Amino acid sequence: MLIIYLCIFFLGASLASYINATLYRIEKNIKLSTLLTESSYCEKCKKKLTWYELIPCFGYLLIKGRCKNCRSKVNPYYPISEAFLGGSFLLLYLNSSHFYIWIILLFLFLLSYYDFLYKEIPRNLVHTLLIFSILVFILFIQIPLSVIITIGILLGIFLLTKIIKKSFGFGDILVLLSIGLVISPKQFLTTFWLSIVSALLYAIFNGLITKEDIKKIKIPMIPFISLSFVIGAVYGDVIFSKILQLIIPPL
């Protein structure tokens, strides 16, 4: 059993590593013909990475987060995102999640890359995600109540963002709408609040380290939405009921 779990984790982590490398090359306008064949190298000194540096997650730990050749720091986004996708694959597998939850996770993973590293998300990717979610909703879900609740919540968020300026961008709202279409309202609420709480903790933590004013830190929301989506899709119903019990204790 453990072997299967490890394989699934590494499948996710390797896919993450592959997606990150491909997106990096696309951003740097590296020729499409060499996209699949070229080996990875250090961003600073251009030295080719050795086989163990390429092991997802563990490669980073083995080189202690620095290039072996020039000692420049490797962006911790890479190992963290690899661990995230590996862990998410394992959770979704254990939960026997629908295939569309996996696909949405991959969309979120792509968006997180742009949001975290470039602080903006490509519009056509968000629109493709939304279209995919609408199709899933029409073909597999068909619960009008959940859509009414989701739209209600999103309208609420939209009004809230008018008040608390800039906490959510319009792209983030479209991503939340896409998620809301394919999971239950309880799972969605859990995802939504978890993403806010985790992003806030990140901002506070980041503020403590960099001594920047928390209000001025621009938080990329998609990575936190992605993390919360996996937890929400798997444990959302349980977490929601537990929190409800805490707020309104059973008589």
Q: Which residues of the chain form contacts with Zn ion (CB under 5 A)?
A: 42, 44-45, 67, 69-70
The rounded distance, in Å, linking the Cα atoms of 52 and 46 is 17
Collapsing DSSP to helix, strand or coil, 125 comes out as: helix
Q: Using alpha carbons only, how large is the chain's radius of gyration in Å? A: 19
State which residue, 27 or 43, has the beta carbon closest to Zn ion: 43
State which residue, 66 or 123, has the beta carbon closest to Zn ion: 66
State which residue, 66 or 242, has the beta carbon closest to Zn ion: 66
State which residue, 73 or 123, has the beta carbon closest to Zn ion: 73
Q: Angle at which helices 221-247 and 185-210 pack, to 10 degrees? A: 120
Q: Return the number of other C-beta atoms located less than 10 Å from residue 167's C-beta.
A: 15
Q: Give the shortest CB-97-to-Zn ion separation in angstroms.
A: 39
State which residue, 72 or 95, has the beta carbon closest to Zn ion: 72
Write out the DSSP string of 70-118.
T-PBPPTHHHHHHHHHHHHHHHHHHTT--HHHHHHHHHHHHHHHHHHHH
Q: Give the shortest CB-76-to-Zn ion separation in angstroms.
A: 16
State which residue, 65 or 152, has the beta carbon closest to Zn ion: 65
State which residue, 70 or 94, has the beta carbon closest to Zn ion: 70
Q: Give the shortest CB-69-to-Zn ion separation in angstroms.
A: 4
Q: Give the shortest CB-181-to-Zn ion separation in angstroms.
A: 44
The rounded distance, in Å, linking the Cα atoms of 43 and 25 is 11
Q: Give the shortest CB-3-to-Zn ion separation in angstroms.
A: 35
| Beta bridge partner(s), residue 41 | 48
Report CA-CA distances (Å) from 226 to 28, 99, 152: 25, 16, 21
What is the length of the chain?
251
Q: Give the shortest CB-22-to-Zn ion separation in angstroms.
A: 20
The rounded distance, in Å, linking the Cα atoms of 94 and 135 is 25
Residue labelled with tokens 């985790």: 198
Q: Give the shortest CB-79-to-Zn ion separation in angstroms.
A: 16
